[in-house]
Amino acid sequence: MITVEKKILNRNIQWLLVFLVLGLGSLQAQQDAQYTQYMYNTVSVNPAYAGSRGHLSIAGLYRNQWLGLDGAPETQTFNIHSPIGYRGVGLGVSIVNDKIGPTSETYFDVDFSYTIQTSWEGRLSFGLKGSAHMLDIRYSELDEFEVDPQLQSQQDIRNKFSPNFGAGVYYHTDRFYVGLSAPRILQTTHFDSSSVSTAKEQINLYFITGYVWDLNPFLKFKPTLLTKVVQGAPLQVDVSANFMFNEKFIGGLAYRWDAAFSGLVGFMLSDQFMVGLAYDREITELGAATFNDGSFEIILRYDFLRNIGNLKSPRFF
């Protein structure tokens, strides 16, 4: 009996995913991929971050949301960025692949930043992002559901291309950072007819900030905040509190307003290589469902440091 109920609930959530993905009726808004470890993946949402670490940096992130639910969001990102020369220029390349139900989206991004030194420690960066967006919608996978015949009659969308661009500004010192960005500015409707509209992109506006305190010679404390605003969706506010012990171990907690609590851990395997893990537990009705085992995220980051012998400590952001 429990198995039957689980299948029914699972199917109902799949239905919800289908409606959210295809944007039927008034459900027109589409958000960017969601990250719990946004503080280590800033270049994905703000192009002005490119090159700000002062050396070549490579990162890859994997997120599996709502474990146990077929068709739930799954995201992979890869980015590489570096300062170029000594003229304040930074360049980066990012790939983001986001899957939800019968849809998958892939972004190929090129990031450009220009940094000016505003004080002995302060640096202000301006960034531009150019994007190539590829969209797949597999209507054929909806045949097992009793969906609207208009949907079943639609032909699959394969690798539909659309361009986009974004911009951002980012200020940081060795201890503080703040940024504002809109990584996708063009509002594109990828498919439209008199009765069906799919994958309508909206502007996602990000505000991010954080500060690092030295509590003692062995312990650092870093609170962070990310706010995301998008038309047609609730305001998203993420706050976190992370501690770094002995420049090697990171542990913390995070809260996504009215949505989830998260636990975060990180390990500096060396001055160059970091591994970060996060687990989210929903506090919504979806989180109480027996088939939802939470969300899991892992990030790997490698920095090609120069003059390692003069490095005071690993960057905490």
In the chain, where the domains are located: 40-303
Does residue 75 contact residue 7 with C-beta atoms inside 8 Å? no
Rounded to a whole number of angstroms, the distance between the first and last alpha carbons of the chain is 49
The predicted-structure confidence for 251-270, as pLDDT tens digits, reads as follows 999 999 988 999 999 999 99
Q: For 284-311, how does the pLDDT look when each residue is reduced to its tens digit (9 = 90+)?
A: 776 556 667 889 999 999 999 876 544 4
Q: Which of 237, 230, 164 lies closest to 30, judged by CA? A: 230
Model pTM? Answer: 0.85
Does domain 40-303 fall under CATH 2.30.30.40? My reply is: no
Concatenate the DSSP letters of all residues of 204-215 into one string. Answer: EEEEEEEE-EEE
Tell me the percentage of the chain whose pLDDT exceeds 90. Answer: 58
134 - beta bridge partners?
106, 161
Please state which of the ranges 10-19, 90-99, 136-145, 289-298 shows the lowest mean pLDDT. Answer: 10-19
